[in-house]
Amino acid sequence: MNYTEEIKRRRTFAIISHPDAGKTTLTEKFLLYGGAINLAGSVKGKATARHAVSDWMEIEKERGISVTSSVLQFEYDGYCINILDTPGHQDFSEDTYRTLMAADSAVMVIDASKGVEAQTRKLFKVCVMRRIPIFTFINKMDRDANDTFDLLDEIEKELGIDTCPMNWPIGSGKGFKGVFDRQERCVITYSDTEKGTKEGHARKVALSDEAALEEALGSAARDKLLEEVELLDEAGAEFDLEEVRAGMLTPVFFGSALTNFGVEIFLKHFLEMATTPLPRKADVGMIDPLSQDFSAFVFKIQANMNKAHRDRIAFMRICSGRYDANMEVRHVQGGKVMRLSQPQQIMADDRKILSEAYAGDIIGVFDPGIFSIGDTLCAPREKFCYEGIPTFAPEHFARVRQVDTMKRKQFVKGIEQIAQEGAIQIFQEFNTGMEEIIVGVVGVLQFDVLKYRLENEYNVEIRLENLPYEHIRWIENKDEVNVERLTGTSDMKKVKDRKGNPLLLFVNPWSIGMTLERNKGLKLAEFSRN
């Protein structure tokens, strides 16, 4: 297979949802169909149940939630698929945002009984901001679900995107009979498979075969389906692939990831509709993925994925060209030409050393502490930067101290490495010489993860003292103002980040406006670009 064909068969997408909508289960079933795993686990359930393949961190296995994005690659039907499985919990939305920067499209999983939930809205806005195509899988049809028309109406009103159902559910819960395939004009009957397997016996019945339809569904379900299909054909949005790829129309599929029904139908359609790797914006213009020159950017850093080696992996999205393990690349921000160390494909905590990879692929490389989120890598003779990944403003702050003062070295190393991953942000007092560290997080659950990881990965016990600050601002024009002489409010605190940049913390939102009024010419920003 030639170079261009290798890139064109790539599909790189993120899976997003509100917690418990079934995202991780759907991911596992994709892997099952691709032959990447032989038996799917269950995220929750008995203590003896297998843990989700994409959840590798101990705290994830204990709590049954994803707290960090996983990268999974597998082959299916001639396609090379890169799945970016993201945390559903809102406290880890910043990690999800960075992951979406590396995706070409998104699969949105919605619980049929709950509809559009808070985190779905938030993540959807990120997709709109990125203008990436969204494909919707309405899950858990084997349980009692909301009215189908109401679900579609809610997606359109809440998220501001048109919907086009590609299939249509027949009943739900105990009355779930299957789905109607609008393209093939046939009914695919529901069969409840063993939860960890892909075997199932789906039967297809043509809509025109009234006798077989009544036998498969019963007269009441058949009559209701015929009525809904007629209404759908008259009033439903027409399928338009260009609108899908422009992020204006979402194709909608129905099924049950747990019982495996509708998963392969969705996967096949999705792979046909999803785009090949897309061009990426850099400071020299758009970079074509089919360009011969290799380029990539770092979107995630993860320490201690391998407990035995205490290593640190930088995850890169290859944006153009082909990567060869023997080639030299330029690390633009570091100003060095180098070889990437131990390039690997990751399947949760399993690894495979790579000799080559192509545009669209996600690779992990050993990071000795030189990479940061947002860094660009390119061919040695090139020198350009991909657009930065924003750092969001933390909303919760705490002063952190190690219990055993003799473990200062491990404490500093641990907290700095976790901060470099982007999971937390760390600050220090501004020009006081104090070594106390203030941690800022987007969601309070991140404090638990920080405490857990420091104890389990660095053998450091910490105490957290919650601080009242809720608002943070970066000083945009730090070189034009005297930060030490700024006149603030009584609830304002001056701090600096890891790079020495000055920031202001506030308890009350109105204090931000007062500080701007008292310091003419001061410019404050809500987020910082790496």
> In this predicted structure, what is the pLDDT of residue 233?
87
Q: Is the pLDDT of residue 362 over 50?
A: yes
Helix (H) or strand (E) holding 513: helix 510-518
| Number of other residues whose CB lies within 10 A of the CB of residue 321 | 24
- Spatial distance between the Cα atoms of 53 and 63, rounded to a whole number of angstroms: 15
For residues 498 and 245, the model is more confident at 245
Q: Is the pLDDT of residue 501 over 70?
A: yes
What whole-number percentage of the chain has pLDDT above 70? 85
Alpha helices in 315-457 (DSSP H): 408-420, 445-457
User: pLDDT band at 178, cuts 50/70/90?
Assistant: very high
> In this predicted structure, what is the pLDDT of residue 350?
67
Q: Is the pLDDT of residue 54 over 50?
A: no
Closest CA to 337 of 378, 296, 306, 375: 378
Residue type, 91: D
Mean pLDDT of the chain: 84
Instruction: Give the CA distances from residue 233 to residues 225, 230, 236, in Å, rounded to whole numbers and listed in that order.
Output: 12, 5, 6
For residues 430 and 289, the model is more confident at 289
**Taking the domains of the chain in order of start, what are their residue ranges?**
15-62+107-273, 280-378, 392-529
| Domain 280-378 -> CATH class | mainly beta
Q: Is the pLDDT of residue 141 over 80?
A: yes
Alpha helices in 236-287 (DSSP H): 241-245, 263-273
> In this predicted structure, what is the pLDDT of residue 198?
62
Closest CA to 6 of 381, 292, 285: 292
- Spatial distance between the Cα atoms of 216 and 269, rounded to a whole number of angstroms: 25
- Superfamily of structural domain 392-529: Peptide chain release factor 3, domain III (3.30.70.3280)
pTM of the complete model: 0.79
- Spatial distance between the Cα atoms of 233 and 226, rounded to a whole number of angstroms: 11
Lowest mean pLDDT among 303-317, 322-336, 498-512: 303-317
Lowest mean pLDDT among 37-51, 181-195, 202-216, 467-481: 37-51
Both structure tokens of 435: 């070594």
The answer to whether 290 and 4 are in contact (CB under 8 A) is yes
Please state the rounded mean pLDDT for residues 236-245.
Answer: 89
> In this predicted structure, what is the pLDDT of residue 99?
81
Phi, psi of 412 (to 5 degrees): -65, -45
pLDDT tens by residue, 381-438: 999 999 887 677 788 999 999 999 899 999 998 898 888 777 788 999 887 655 789 9
pLDDT tens by residue, 84-97: 876 544 544 567 77
- Spatial distance between the Cα atoms of 204 and 202, rounded to a whole number of angstroms: 7
- Spatial distance between the Cα atoms of 529 and 354, rounded to a whole number of angstroms: 31
Q: Is the pLDDT of residue 219 over 50?
A: yes
The answer to whether 360 and 289 are in contact (CB under 8 A) is yes
221-224 own/partner pairs: CB under 8 Å, 24+ apart:
221/170, 221/171, 221/175, 221/177, 224/170
Instruction: Give the CA distances from residue 369 to residues 318, 417, 431, in Å, rounded to whole numbers and listed in that order.
Output: 20, 8, 26
> In this predicted structure, what is the pLDDT of residue 307?
57
Answer yes or no: same fold for 15-62+107-273 and 280-378: no
Pick the CATH number of 15-62+107-273 from 3.40.1050.10, 3.40.50.450, 3.40.50.720, 3.40.50.300: 3.40.50.300
* 110-127 burial code (b ≥16 CB/10 A, e <16): bbbeebbbebbeebbebb
> In this predicted structure, what is the pLDDT of residue 52?
47
